[in-house]
Copies of this chain bind each other. A is one copy, B any other.
Amino acid sequence: MTTTTPLPSWRDGAAKSAVLEFVRSVTERGDSFVPPEQRIATFDNDGTLWCEKPMYPQAHFLIRRWGTQVKADPTLAERQPWKAVAEGDRSWLASALDHLPELLKGVTEAYDGITTDDFEAAVRAFFDTVQHPTLGVPYTHIAFRPMCELIELLHAHEFDVYICSAGGRDFVRVIAHEMYGLRRTHVIGSGPTLEYRDGAVYRTRGIEQPIADGAGKPVHIWTRTGQRPLLAGGNADGDGAMLETARFALLIHHDDAAREFAYDTGAETVLTRAGERGWTIVSMKDDFETVF
């Protein structure tokens, strides 16, 4: 359906061929043909569609918020994560995932009690004003160009493409269209518990369970689409369950220290499983002609 050469930012090689061959096989009439209404694709966001280092963009967003909160109410500095922000304690923040109960309190108390519209305005302001700390560009410029092209290719072949992010659904929704060409209806992810009253939806101090990570991803994907993904893409251990439900699984390998970041931490298990199951591993260094 596309007349231009597909995936121009991908280098020729096994990964690109596998993707193109799979898309051809399910969209051309034949034994492996899949009708358009069953062509669901799901992608993790952090580290799969955009750069997640040196910290998750949403972590940057939250740290700024905690800073604002602790300035307005210095007593917050008595507890984490506000304490770490007030004291500039980077080591606590870097290991925040090891302090999950405190971290989650920070996440849920950052924006509880406000409407989804007001939250959206705060997210919009972040993307409009804050730059990535090392790449020196706005966060709206940190999508991986080859992955955006893959989404385009899938759309051109009548796939219904969703993001399934362990991070905040309502954070990613704000930029899904401008960065990935995805409608806000097509963002699946973790979110706060919500409450409706007097014409507005309010964020409350809880997190919808399960979060959209690990075994929670197939649950969220079922809840939202009623289907398994035909194609799925991820980069971390938390994507493993989603990848194993897909007919075609793609794993982004962060091995490009020069143009992005090189790290296997948090992806050890999924990298092993990808090898065992014959998933398509994409080397950012070798398979991407252009990264951003």
A114–B208 alpha-carbon span in the complex (Å)? 23
Chain B residues in 8 Å Cβ range of A197: 215
What mask results when residues 194 to 221 of chain A are scored 1 for a CB within 8 Å of chain B, else 0?
1111010100000010000001111100
Q: Does A245 contact B177, Cβ atoms closer than 8 Å?
A: no
Residues of B close to A217: CB separation below 8 A:
196
- What is the oligomeric copy number? 2
- In the complex, A226 Cα to B173 Cα: how many Å? 8
Total count of chain A residues near the partner, CB < 8 A: 34
In the complex, the answer to whether B194 meets A223 with C-beta atoms within 8 Å is yes
**Cβ B185 vs Cβ A227 within 8 A:** yes
Nearest CB of chain B from residue A205's CB, rounded to whole Å: 15
Chain B residues closer than 8 Å to A218, beta-carbon distance:
196, 201
A19 interface hit (Cβ, 8 Å): no
The answer for the CA separation of A224 and B191 in the assembled complex, in Å, is: 11
Chain B, residue nearest A185 (CB): B225
Query: Which of B37, B187, B195, B216 is A196 in contact with, Cβ under 8 Å?
Result: B216
**Any chain B CB within 8 A of the CB of A153?**
no
Tell yes or no: A170 within 8 A of B by CB. Answer: yes
A241 close to B (CB within 8 Å)? yes
* A255: Cβ under 8 A from any B Cβ: no
A218: nearest residue on chain B (CB-CB)? B196
Are the CB atoms of B219 and A194 closer together than 8 Å? yes
Q: Is residue A60 within 8 Å, beta carbon to beta carbon, of the partner chain?
A: no
Smallest distance from the beta carbon of A287 to chain B beta carbons, Å?
A: 28
Contacts of A141 in B (CB 8 A): none
